[in-house]
Amino acid sequence: MSQHLFLPLVMLAMCPTPGAFPDSGKVTELREDCGRPEPSARILGGSDAQPRSWPWQVSLHQGGGHVCGGSLIAPSWVLSAAHCFVTNGTLEPAAEWSVLLGMHSQDGPSDSAHLRAVAAILVPENYSSVELGADLALLRLASPARLGPAVRPVCLPRATHRFAPGTACWATGWGDVQEADPLPPPWVLQEVELRLLGEATCQCLYSRPGPFNLTFQLLPGMLCAGYPEGRRDTCQGDSGGPLVCEEGGRWFQAGITSFGFGCGRRNRPGVFTAVAPYETWIRDRVMGSEPGPAFPNQTQEPQLGPREPREENCTIALPECGKALQPGAWPWAVQVTVPGFRPCHGSLVSESWLLAPASCFLHSGTSDSGPSDLDAWRVLLPSQPHAERVARLVLHENASRDDAADLALLRLRAPVNLSAALRPVCLAHPEHYFLPGSRCRLARWGRAETAPGPSTQLEAELLSSWWCHCLYGRQGAPVPLAGDPPLVLCPAYREEEEAGRCWNNSGWTLVCREKGTWFLAGIRGFSGSCLRPRVFAPLQTHGPWISHVTRGAYLEDQLAWDWGPEGEITEPQTCPPHTEHGACGLRPEAAPTGVLWPWLAEIHVAGDRVCTGILVAPGWILAATHCILRPGSATVPYIEVYLGRAGASSVPQGHQVSRLVISIRLPRHLGLRPPLALLELSFRVEPSPSALPICLHPGGIPPGASCWVLGWKDPQDRVPVAAPVSILTPRLCHCLYQGILPPGTLCVLYAEGQDDRCEVTSAPPLLCQTEGGSWVLMGLAVRGSQELFAAISPEETWISQTVGEAHFLPPSGLPYWFPESGDLCPPDLAGASGFPGAAALFLLLLTPLIQGW
C-alpha cells in the first residue's frame, strides 16, 4: 500500500442494524451477512486499519512469509490473483501455501488469527500473464475458516453489478508502502481509499507514453482505481487482495489487486481484476460447497461518482517535471541562503520540496531536533523576484558519513506556482537505468567557492561500466558486474571552451536527458583534484527516501526499462593491461557515437592535405614526418588535429575533439630525415571513448597479436578502415626487400582476398591488439608503401624523453633482430622482392622449416 498518509478523516457509514454473526449456521443467514464487518467503533483516518475492519482480508504465506493478499468469500474459499501462484507458466503446488485469517498485524498472533492449509488452487485456463488479464485464483482451504468478528466473508458482485466510476472504494493489504519500500514493523494491515476510474479515463492515462514510450492496453475484465496524480495506490505484496466498495451497508468486492506500472506514479493507477465478470467462473468452481460465496443483488442503481472527469479528458493533474526551455536554463535551479554562509545550490523536486547537499546545512546550527534558525533561511527560485522561506529541513540519515548520501530535503513554507520557468526536475525510480550514451549536463550543486561559470553547461555522455572502470578505475582489476542499480554514473565530457580550468571548487550534479525530459541522475561533492568530476553517485538509490519524505516529488511515471546488453553481463570482465600512466589502447566494442578508434587522428596540414596521426599521450600525436613536412618547405605549417571522428561526413560529430599543433619534434638522425614526428597539441585532451592514447610497443612482435593497418580508403570521406595483416619477422622482411630497407622497418603481408587497403599518402599506422586486449602502435607507413612501416620501437628513448606520459608496454615477444647480411636468405627469395606478396606467402608456407633462422 503506498501513500497511505493521505487517507481522509471520514467515518464510514455503518450498517443500520448490525446482526449477530453466526459462527456456523444456515446458508441463508451467512449469505445475507457477507460484507459486514464488526460494527465496532471503527475510525478511519490513518494508514493503519483498525482491527476487524476488513475481516475478509487474508494473508497468503509461502516459505514462511507474506507473499500476497486474498479475500475470504466463503468459509472454505479464498479469492486471490493468479499471478501469485503461477511462475513461468506453471502453477505452484497448493501444499506450499498457507492462508492466515483474522490477522491484523503480521508481527504476532492475535486471538482471532488462525492458519489454514490450501487444498487446491484454481486459476482460469486462459491466464498467462497479468497484462493479459484473467488474473484471479480460487483457493480451497483444507478445512473451513473459523468465522467470527475478525473473520468474515465479503460479498461478491453479480455479473450484472455495475460499480460507478468515481465511487470511493478501499484497497487493503500488507504490501510495500512505496516502491521497493516494504511495510515497516509491526506490519499492520494498511487501507487506502481509491476512486474507481472509468475504462476510458484509465485507458487514456495508460496511453500517455511518458519518457520511455511505455503504454498499456486495458482489457475487458480489468478495472482501474486510483488517481491521475498517483500517490495513493496498491503496491507489491498487495496483489490478490480485495478492492471493496460499500453499497447499502454491505461491502462488495469490486476488484482483485493485480498490477500497475509501479506504485503511486502519476498517470499510472492500479489495475485490478474486475470480479463481477467472473461470477460464473467462480460459481462453477465453488458449486457444491456449503455455504458458498454470497452474490447479493445490487440494491441501488449505479450513480456517477462526484469526481469522474469526462471520459475522454484525462489531463494529468500535475505539470510535468524535467522540461527545460533550453539546456542550462534550469527551471529547477534553486539557491538556499543560510545567514553567514555562501548560497547553496540545489534543485526543486516538487511544488514544495528542494533537494540540496546536507553538507550545506550540517554546520549551520543544525541539531537533531532541526536547525534553530530556519526562519532566517531564504530560497531563491528561478524567475521569482522574492525569496521563499523554509518550513522544514530533513537530513538524510547517512548524510555525514557517506558522500553518496550527502542529501537534505527542504520544505518550502508554501508551495510555489509552477510554470515553464519554474518547475521541478524529474527524479528517477530505483529501477531506472541511465544507459551508456545518455546525454547529460553538469549543474552546480552545493556551496560554490567561486561564482558559477559557463561550465555549468558542460555536456557529457554516459560511459558503459566497462569503460568507466577501465578508464578511471583501478587498471587491470576485474570490472565489477554492472550494478543493479549501477554503482556509479560515469560521464565522458564533450570539449569545453575553458579547458584547463580547475574543477575542485564546487560540487556538481549530473542531469541526464531522456526523451526530452531531464532527470537528476547523480551527485558529486567537492573533488580533491582539478580534474573534471569523473564518477557520480547515482541518485535513484535514494528514490524511496525522497518519496518517503516528500510524498509528492515528481518521480517519473514509467517503470520498465531494458538495461540492454550491459545488464546481461554475468562474468566479470577484465581491463586490458595498463601502463604507469594509466589506461591506453582501450577500444569500445560499439561506442554510442560510432567512434571505434579513439586514438586515430586526422591531421589537417596547412589546410590542404590530411595525414593520419595517433594519440600517444593526452597532449601528443605521433605522425609520419614525410606526410607532415613536405620536402623543401622551410616553414612550420599550420596544423589542426581532430580526434573522435568516424568519417568526414558522418553526423553527429558529437564527441569530436580538435586541437592546434603548437610544435613539431623530430628525433636527431644523422643525415637522414627521421620517419617519425611528434606533434605537441595546444592543450591536453581528456581521455574518453573518443580520445584515448594508444599503447606503444617496445620492440619485437607481440606474441599472439592480431594486427591491422588502420587508415581510410578514401582520403575525402575518411571513414576508417582496418586491413588485417601479418607482420613478417625482420629476417623475412629483409630477405624480401634485400638491401633497400633502413633498420627498424616492419613488413606486413595482407590477408588473402583483403581488398580494403588504406590509401598511402596519409601514412597509415600499423597496430596490433595484444593477447591482453590492449591496442599497441607498431609503426607508421613508409612513404608510398602499403607494406613497409617505420617501427616506433627504435625511437623509444626519444619518444619517452619527449613525452613523459607515452604508454610503452613492458617488453615481450620476439626480440628485434637485424640480419647482418642477406646471405642467410634462401636463394629462391633473393630475386623475389619484385613480388613481395607472393614471395612472403611462399615464405610463410615454409615457416615451420625456417623458424630456426
- Measured from each CB, the residue nearest to ligand 4AZ is 260
Q: Give the nearer residue to ligand 4AZ in terms of CB position, either 263 or 462.
A: 263
CA distance linking residue 802 with residue 796, whole number of Å:
10
Helix (H) / strand (E) element for 344: namely strand 344-348
- The minimum distance between CB 775 and ligand 4AZ, in angstroms, equals 47
Question: For residue 485, is the peptide bond before it cis, meaning its omega torsion is within 30 degrees of 0?
Answer: yes
Toward ligand 4AZ, which CB reaches closer, 86 or 778?
A: 86
The residue with cell 511515471 is 557
- For ligand 4AZ, the closer of residues 192 and 409 by Cβ is 192
Q: Whose CA is closest to 207, among 313, 129, 105, 102? A: 313
514 lines the binding site for ligand 4AZ (CB under 6 A): no
CA distances from residue 377 to 131, 413, 613, 755 in whole angstroms, order as listed: 49, 11, 56, 71
**What residues are paired with 348 via a beta bridge?**
354
Please report whether residue 275 would count as binding ligand 4AZ according to CB under 6 A: no
Helix (H) or strand (E) holding 173: strand 168-173
Compute, in degrees rounded to 10, the torsion defined by CA atoms 577, 582, 587, 589: 80
**Stretch in the footprint of ligand 4AZ (CB under 6 A) among 232-240, 286-294, 350-358, 462-470:** 232-240
Rounded Cα distance, 853 and 848, in Å: 11
The three grid cell numbers given for residue 281, joined into one nine-digit string: 467462473
Q: How far is the CB of 236 from ligand 4AZ (least distance, A)?
A: 4
Q: Residue 84 Cβ, how far from ligand 4AZ at the closest point, in Å? A: 8
Choices 227-235, 464-472, 493-501, 844-852 (CB under 6 A): range interacting with ligand 4AZ: 227-235
Q: In the complex, what is the shortest distance from the CB of residue 309 to ligand 4AZ, in angstroms, rounded to a whole number?
A: 20
SS (H, E, C) 277-321: HHHHHHHHHHCCCCCCCCCCCCCCCCCCCCCCCCCCCCCCCCCCC
Told to check if 270 binds ligand 4AZ by CB under 6 A, we report yes
In sequence order, the β-bridge partners of residue 609 are 605
Rounded least distance, CB 346 to ligand 4AZ, Å: 30
Query: Considering the rule CB under 6 A, would residue 260 count as an interface residue with ligand 4AZ?
Result: yes
Closer by beta carbon to ligand 4AZ, 238 or else 514 = 238
Q: Binder to ligand 4AZ among 57, 98, 236, 475 (CB under 6 A)?
A: 236
User: Checking phi first, is residue 798 left (phi over 0); if not, alpha (psi -120 to 50) or beta?
Assistant: alpha
Which of 4/718 has CB closer to ligand 4AZ? 4
Q: Please identify, among the stretches 230-238, 279-287, 427-435, 623-631, the one whose residues bind ligand 4AZ according to the rule CB under 6 A.
A: 230-238
Positions marked active-site: 83, 135, 239
Give alpha helix (H) positions in 674-826: 730-736, 796-802
**Closest distance of CB 452 from ligand 4AZ, Å:** 41
Taking CB under 6 A as the criterion, the residue among 57, 234, 359, 656 binding ligand 4AZ is: 234
d(CA 172, CA 169): 10
**Going by DSSP bridges, is the β-strand pair 77-80/137-141 parallel, antiparallel, or unpaired?**
antiparallel
Q: Which of 239, 352, 688, 802 binds ligand 4AZ (CB under 6 A)?
A: 239
Q: Which residue has the cell 575518411?
A: 718
| Cβ nearer to ligand 4AZ, comparing 158 with 208 | 208
Choices 229-237, 380-388, 461-469, 495-503 (CB under 6 A): range interacting with ligand 4AZ: 229-237
DSSP string, 83-138: GGTEETTEEPPGGGEEEEES-SBSSS--SS-EEEEEEEEE--TT---GGGS---EE
CB of 62 to ligand 4AZ, least distance (A): 14
Decide whether 212 or 708 has the Cβ nearer to ligand 4AZ.
Answer: 212
Q: Which is nearer to ligand 4AZ, 260 or 292 (CB)?
A: 260
Least separation in angstroms between residue 473's CB and ligand 4AZ is: 35
Phi, then psi, of 114 in degrees rounded to 5: -150, 165
Using CB under 6 A, which residues numbered 103 to 162 contact ligand 4AZ? none
Q: How many residues does the chain have?
A: 853
- Intra-chain end-to-end CA distance of the chain, in Å: 79
Signed CA dihedral, 298, 303, 308, 312: sign only: positive
Of 558, 527, 523, the C-alpha closest to 541 is 523
Question: Residue 475: helix, strand or coil by DSSP?
Answer: coil
Backbone angles phi, psi at 489, to 5 degrees: -110, 135
> Would you count residue 230 as binding ligand 4AZ (CB under 6 A)?
no
* Residue 263 in the binding site for ligand 4AZ (CB under 6 A): yes
Does 273 help bind ligand 4AZ (rule: CB under 6 A)? Answer: no
729 belongs to the binding site for ligand 4AZ (CB under 6 A): no
- Residue 272 grid coordinates: 485490478
Query: Of 226, 281, 239, 306, nearest to 82 (Cα)?
Result: 239
Q: For residue 56, how many C-alpha atoms fall within 13 Å in the half-sphere facing its CB?
A: 35
Task: State yes or no: residue 353 binds ligand 4AZ (CB under 6 A).
Answer: no
Position among 56, 85, 259, 545 found at the interface with ligand 4AZ (CB under 6 A): 259
- Does position 777 interact with ligand 4AZ (CB under 6 A)? The reply is no
Among residues 130 and 735, whose Cβ is nearest to ligand 4AZ? 130
If one asks whether residue 191 binds ligand 4AZ (CB under 6 A), the answer comes out as: no
Kindly state the smallest distance separating residue 257's Cβ from ligand 4AZ, in Å: 5
Residue 257 as a binder of ligand 4AZ (CB under 6 A): the answer is yes
Residue 618 grid cell: 593526452
Q: Which stretch binds ligand 4AZ (CB under 6 A): 215-223, 231-239, 311-319, 482-490?
A: 231-239
Beta strands in 473-583, from DSSP E residues, in sequence order: 478-479, 491-493, 507-514, 517-524, 537-538, 573-574
CB 366 within 8 A of CB 393: yes
Q: Which stretch binds ligand 4AZ (CB under 6 A): 141-149, 257-265, 608-616, 736-744?
A: 257-265
User: Among residues 83 and 578, whose Cβ is nearest to ligand 4AZ?
Assistant: 83
Residue choice 33, 238, 388, 795 for contact with ligand 4AZ (CB under 6 A): 238
* 587 closest CA partner among 380, 763, 774, 359: 774
In the complex, the smallest distance separating the C-beta of residue 240 from ligand 4AZ, rounded to whole angstroms, is 8
Using the contact rule CB under 6 A, the part of the chain among 131-139, 253-261, 717-725, 728-736 near ligand 4AZ is 253-261
Instruction: Please identify, using beta-carbon distances, which residue of 243 and 333 lies nearer to ligand 4AZ.
Output: 243
Q: Contacts with ligand 4AZ: how many residues (CB under 6 A)?
A: 11
Q: Give the phi and the psi of residue 657 in degrees, each rounded to 5.
A: -120, 130
Q: What is the dihedral sign for C-alpha 395, 396, 402, 406?
A: negative
As given in the structure block, the three cell numbers for residue 487 are: 554503482
- Out of 154, 235, 615, 735, which residue is the one contacting ligand 4AZ (CB under 6 A)? 235
In whole angstroms, give the CA distance from residue 134 to residue 795. 75
Beta carbon of residue 133, minimum distance to ligand 4AZ (angstroms, whole number): 15
> CA-CA distance, 319 to 312, in Å (whole number)?
19
Q: Is 60 in the site for ligand 4AZ (CB under 6 A)?
A: no
One-character DSSP codes across 562-577: --HHHHT--S-EEPPP
> In this chain, which stretch among 236-244, 373-381, 448-456, 655-663 interacts with ligand 4AZ, using CB under 6 A?
236-244
Compute the least distance from the CB of residue 226 to ligand 4AZ, in Å.
8
In whole angstroms, how close is the CB of 5 to ligand 4AZ at the nearest point?
17
Q: Closer to ligand 4AZ at the Cβ: 270 or 730?
A: 270
Q: Which is nearer to ligand 4AZ, 263 or 546 (CB)?
A: 263
Residues at the contact surface with ligand 4AZ, assessed by CB under 6 A: 233-236, 238-239, 257, 259-260, 263, 270
